[in-house]
Amino acid sequence: MDISWVFIAFGGWLLALAFLLKIFNHPKRKLPPGPRPWPIIGNLNLLGSLPRVSLHHLSQKYGDLVLLKFGSKPVLVATSPEMAKEILKTHDAIFASHPALAAGKYTSYNYSNIIWAPYGAHWRQARKFYLTKIFSSRTVDSFEYIHVEERRTLISHLFSLSGKPVLLEDHLPRFTLRTISRLVMSDRYFNGQLNLDASIITLETLQRMLDGWFLLGGFRKFYKYVLEEHKAKKEDYVPEDMVDTFFHLADDPNLQVKLTSDRLMGLIHDLVSGPTDTSAATIEWAFQELSRKPNIIDKAQQELDRVIGKERWVEEDDFSELPYIDVIIKETFRLHPLAVLLPPHYSIEDCNVAGYDIPKGTTVFVNGWSLGRSEKCWDRPEEFISERFVENNIDTKGQNFALLPFGSGRRRCPGYSLAMKSVRTTMANLLHGFKWKLAGDMKLEDISMEEIYGLTTHPN
């Protein structure tokens, strides 16, 4: 009995010695400032109904780099262009992965899409497909006729409503969804060309599913049908849409990662869900702001009348001569970013950012909403002033870290060119084709600028 107690005491002494050695051999790390976390919940109690505003206020107290705890997980928030550059450029390779969150697992077919896929072979291969095949200049240009046809359908429908109050939010989502679905999988699933079981899907059902983005059960059933139908006609055909292109790529015996059904569905879901909501929301916000600044509408329409004239519609090739349309879009991106918080990044190893030690396994958010409201970068940042972009060379490609509508670095949105084509041609033609004014007795001060928060923000 006495001998056993000796062994227990000796073991306890060894554990204490190991603990002390660990402390003295690992000097205390210098972590970014932040509020003290609560047990279990961490700092989740500090997030309000609009998280990007809550995080912005925290940055005003603690600085441009704030360390939080969401539960027990470390979360770093960057809120200035300088810190965004540190994360997305200086240490891009370290923060190139995304965290394995439940949201990613259940909304992307087990991290199969490019948004939620961890940094690795599948993500690199998918990104290469997007950049060299799906969103290449040649592919995007080959689908121009679809953009034109759907845009004319939208304009014709709005023309039939001339003189009546129109809410763009009632028309733009359907227009963008029809356009994107034709690019990705053709329109035969919605126009009666196929004798589809009514239980498969309708365009209206697809829109509701996208609005309730977590309903993947319905998506799986529909995407499975799309894949099977495309596969059945795969022999001796010319690719007509993006799903056809994926099947062509999947036949390559030298692929590093096989394109399974789940991976194909994840990539298709990227293409359908990503551009639909963001493009519509950007145009809605632009017109919400322009309604409060009719002088900007007048100036834009003068440019359009001078360059385009009254006899034709705006085409993609015209934008080199339409700089004022571009500055309106940039100012909309600044004040109403596509994603108020850029998709989360994740540190795959320990690193040092701006003198602070960032441990491996830290989730990182870049607050795009804060970037657009930085008083260091923007004069009167809360105001919509399109002229601020007239005489500067700030672009939207991720090289200027004060304006990151599509992100930057390895994780920048690969569909940038398609998104810009959709937004600017649609907005330019809506300005060119109609005279816009407030309905009834509505006044400028009656226009609501409140936001509906979601994956993207919409005007209320």
C-alpha closest to that of 31 among 358, 366, 365: 358
Ramachandran area for residue 255 (φ above 0: left; ψ -120 to 50: alpha; else beta): beta
Residue 434: count other Cβ atoms within 10 Å of its Cβ.
14
One-letter identity of residue 56: H
Dihedral, CA of residue 277, residue 283, residue 289 and residue 290, to nearest 10:
-170
**181-209 as b/e, with b when 16 or more CB fall inside 10 Å?**
bbbbbbbebbeeeeebeeeebeeeebbeb
Dihedral, CA of residue 373, residue 378, residue 380 and residue 385, to nearest 10:
-100
Instruction: Measure the N-to-C terminal CA separation of the chain; round to a whole number of Å.
Output: 75
H or E, element range at 92: none
Residue 113: what are its φ and ψ, rounded to 5°?
-90, 175
| 202: β partners | none
The bridge status of strand 73-78 relative to strand 345-346 is unpaired
For residue 305, the SS3 value is helix
Q: Is 331 exposed, middle or buried (0-12, 13-18, 19+ CB in 10 A)?
A: buried
Alpha helices in 161-260 (DSSP H): 172-185, 203-211, 216-232, 242-250
Q: Is 351 annotated as a binding residue?
A: no
Q: Rounded to whole angstroms, how far apart are CA atoms 325 and 428?
A: 7
Q: Assess contact for 386 and 380: CB atoms under 8 A.
A: no
Compute CA distances 215 → 107, 116, 219, 457, whole Å. Answer: 8, 17, 7, 20
User: What are the percentages of helix, strand and coil residues in the chain, rounded to 5?
Assistant: 50, 5, 40
C-alpha closest to that of 269 among 223, 225, 214: 223
What distance separates the 2 farthest-apart alpha carbons in the chain?
103
Residue 108: count other Cβ atoms within 10 Å of its Cβ.
24
- Would you state the structure tokens that stand for residue 160, as one six-digit string? 């039939």
Q: Which residues are annotated as a binding site?
A: 413
Q: Which residues are annotated as a binding site for heme?
A: 413
